[in-house]
Amino acid sequence: MIAEKLWQTEIDGTFLGAFFSIPGKQTCVLVRRNKSPALTGIDNRGEIIWDREFAFDSVDSFIPFRTFLYLDGTAIRKVDPANGRLVTERRLDDRVQVMPPSTAGPTYGSQDDIIGVHPDSLETNWNWKSPGGTFVTGDHLISYQKSGEITIVDVTDCMKTTRVRGPANNRYGLAVHLLDDLLVQIYWMSRFAVDLRTGELAWRIPDDRHGTHERIVFDGRTAYSAWHDLKAIDLRTGQVSWCSKLPHRIETQPYVYSKKVYVGTKDGGVHAVDAETGQVLWSFNVDYDPVAVQPRSRGEVVVLGWEVVSCYQVEES
């Protein structure tokens, strides 16, 4: 395996979150600069092509949806990643936090509500009064209360609601996922699934001998959990399909792309792992601690640090 550095760019500010790379086009990074958030666009040659600063404490994060970026904070904002232009914004009574989008548009949460907005006008498509412990997964809102009451709302079908009573839920999970008729919750050291047809436990793993869960992503019928190791969990059974030990602690959210799982480790390592077997396919090192790793087309991999972003061309042997 050969990893060739194509470019490396210093960021004016410290990484705040919401790193996003558009294959063959721009890399967008949200940073904190002089206590204020700023969004920077970098082209596929490593050149900064635009930079947009926002008022102090006005932006917390963003998500990509289709061809635009949607920001949260003191307002809902839509930004064109090609030039950094603010396309439109909408101010609400409360501060909002961006959530995973549905297929219909971006989703935001406030203190009391979860709303879905139209991707063009940012007007409200739907609004749901949110109790604590509500998660968004795909086109569904999921509320699992301590009493065991489970509410599932389909936001694409006129807010069709399904309710079932499951086991008592004493705390909220790190991650929640809906797989067919299974509601899966993953905690720090344990996990379980509820059969939504009956409200009964489908499976429960009370104490994972493979260690703790921390950074979790879902891909189809599998959850990938990264912390001291990288493991794949079969969501149909709760069992660990494979566990891959890496040289150091994993510092990035796993990124699943083209049957590979990409992660960065504390020692500056960048690793690609076979998503089906857990075999480490290749590794290389950068001279900083990665905070995000994201592949692009043509074998390129973008690696983000706290104040730097690099792009590597990886040729597998």
pLDDT tens digits along 157-214: 767 788 899 988 766 667 899 999 999 999 888 899 999 999 999 999 987 666 677 8
What is the pLDDT confidence band of residue 24, given thresholds at 50, 70 and 90?
low
Of 104, 97, 140, 139, nearest in space to 124 by CA: 104
Tokens 């009573």 belong to 165
Weakest-pLDDT range from 19-28, 74-83, 254-263, 302-311: 19-28
Q: Is the pLDDT of residue 216 over 90?
A: yes
Phi, psi of 297 (to 5 degrees): -70, 165
Distance between CA atoms of 161 and 290, rounded to whole angstroms? Answer: 41
For position 132, what pLDDT does the model report? 67
Tokens 């989703």 belong to 107
The mean pLDDT value of the chain amounts to: 91
Mean pLDDT of the 20-48 span: 90
For position 117, what pLDDT does the model report? 95
For position 171, what pLDDT does the model report? 66
Phi, psi of 147 (to 5 degrees): -70, -15
Phi, psi of 140 (to 5 degrees): -130, 140
For position 156, what pLDDT does the model report? 82
Phi, psi of 167 (to 5 degrees): -65, 155
For position 158, what pLDDT does the model report? 65
Separation in Å, CA 91 to CA 70, 74, 75, 104, 124: 13, 7, 4, 21, 12
